[in-house]
Amino acid sequence: MALTDNQLNAICDSLSSGTSLRATCTKMNLPESTVRRWIRDCPEAASSVIRARELGFDSMADQCIEIADAGDLEPQDRRVRIETRIRLLGKWSQRYADRQSVDVGNKPGETLRVDAAVDNVSLVLHLAEALRQQKIIG
């Protein structure tokens, strides 16, 4: 079974709003395994889904703010919902990760990879030390 362009567009619209692929397939009455296989085997579909998921990550971050502000939820419920989204975002997207990687190099093809906490002060100190070790700065 090949999915149509309209189905792919509907899937991507749903993913870009932060909805999971499983929930999307259920809502569209499509077998999840078939959709996953089609995405895996069709490079154009995979590319569209990747872009849609990136937008969906931003939507999930927005959901965290909405959940934090929801007065009708118990504090523990809010915490669990937010933590779940934040952990998944950190694993799925480098932009939302607790750690950032910085590549620096002073010659073409030469790269020094530095992993540092997102904390800006630590990042700057780690980067400066890496640059000193490479004798890029004194």
Angle formed at CA 114 by CA 136 and CA 121, multiple of 5 degrees: 85
* Structure confidence by residue, pLDDT tens digits, 80-130: 999 899 888 888 887 877 766 655 656 666 665 555 545 555 556 666 667
Could you give the count of Cα atoms lying within 13 Å of 34 in the half-sphere of its Cβ? 14
Residue ranges of domains in the chain, CATH in brackets: 5-96 (1.10.10.60), 100-133 (no CATH)
What pLDDT was estimated at residue 138? 47
Contact in structure between 42 and 48 (CB atoms under 8 Å): no
Question: What gap in Å lies between CA 79 and CA 28, rounded to an integer?
Answer: 31
What pLDDT was estimated at residue 136? 57
Give Dmax over CA atoms of the chain in angstroms: 62
* pTM score: 0.66
